[in-house]
Structure 1
Amino acid sequence: MGIRVRKADPGEIEAVGEVTVAAYAAAEVIPEGSGYEERLRDAQARSDGAELLVAVNGEGTVLGTVTVVHPGTVFAEISQPGELEFRMLAVDPAQRGRGIGEVLLRAVLERGRDLGVSRVVMCSAKNMTAAHRLYERHGFTRLPSRDFSPVPGVWLQGFVRELS
């Protein structure tokens, strides 16, 4: 497939923000007037406060991204001690269907194993059913106790994957 996942380079930060906004806009999960588009675009903040990973092709083009978050840090939403959280998994809409989301998800699970955490958690907008199918194929199950609404009009569902 020629796709690899690695930490984002400083020169890729702008591209990461654009890919993230494009993916979330295509999924229609950016509430108008919420300020969420600006948060999605701010990949520098994610790079500073979390682990910002990118999926790139052989030419180094950013095809997708995911933010890996540790509990108690600025980007943590639902993680607790002993867990790893991921957020803002995004694939360039023009690159969908190539397995990029799956490659990113596998990288997150591998990171969790490397860190020795017991679980990986995340939350996803209720209407992102294609993403939910990907998570379920990789052993994630619903975690309703972590569902929440970060902004009016958006309901996020919690998911968990036990690591052995």
Structure 2
Amino acid sequence: MNTSNYIIRNAFPSEFEEIGRLLIRVYSQLEGFPKENEQPNYYKMLANIGNFTNHSETELLAAVDENNTILGTVVFFNDMQYYGSGGSATQEKNAAGFRLLGVDPNARGKGIGKLLTQECIKKATENNQNQLIIHSTLAMKTAWKMYENLGFKRSEDLDFMQGELPVFGFRLKIIS
């Protein structure tokens, strides 16, 4: 797997709409994940993904190829108060988090999700955070192994229900 052809960078405001469409496509195709008519506010949030960058210390990252094609994306939060999830995660101190990781279905299996995750780990470490928090669902269970291989551990204290959907917390302790 040659991941050297991909660049992880901050998304440009001109790309926010395209990234929103990408995330809607990715999440709506997940087996067992709520559809737009079941959780319309969630999909509205995806469509307006760029709004997260209105908060300081929140970055919308994009994985692009040599043609600047967006292959994947993630939102990194250096301050958990802007994380915007249910449960207790937004109360965590000395913590960063990431949410809404998505990889274009045509680009899966190329290590892009891992590159985006590693960039979030790097940012949390550089910002002297003690931990990195993420959430996932059973529909995204294929990513769990990747997270665990990178050192994330299940943290049941971070679990919550989003409507009918159980959401599972993971935590990576950062040793600086």
* Shorter-chain TM band: over 0.9
1:143 to 2:175 alignment = no
* Number of equivalences: 163
State the distance in 1 between where 2:146 and 2:124 align. Answer: 18
Other-structure match for 1:159 = 170
> Does the Cα contact within 8 Å between 1:76 and 1:85 map onto a contact in 2?
no
- The letter of the residue matching 1:133 is K
Give the unaligned 5+ runs of structure 2.
Answer: none
State the distance in 2 between where 1:107 and 1:47 align. Answer: 17
**CA offset digits 1:7-41 (Å, max 9, x no partner):** 11111111110111111122232343311221112
Give the TM-score of the pair, scaled to structure 2: 0.87
> Does the Cα contact within 8 Å between 1:46 and 1:75 map onto a contact in 2?
no
Residue 76 of structure 1 and its aligned partner are, at CA, apart by 5.5
- The letter of the residue matching 1:90 is G
Matches within 5 A, 1:43-58: 43-49=49-55, 50-58=58-66
Matched residue of 1:149: which SS? strand
**CA offset digits 1:58-81 (Å, max 9, x no partner):** 111111000011221263551411
> Does the Cα contact within 8 Å between 1:91 and 1:100 map onto a contact in 2?
yes
- Work out which of the residue numbers 65, 69, 73 in structure 1 matches 2:73: 65
Other-structure match for 1:30 = 34
Give the unaligned 5+ runs of structure 1.
Answer: none
- The letter of the residue matching 1:72 is Q
Residue 115 of structure 1 and its aligned partner are, at CA, apart by 0.3
State the distance in 1 between where 2:68 and 2:44 align. Answer: 25
Other-structure match for 1:42 = 48
CA RMSD of aligned residues (A): 1.4
> Does the Cα contact within 8 Å between 1:26 and 1:93 map onto a contact in 2?
no
State the distance in 1 between where 2:124 and 2:157 align. Answer: 21
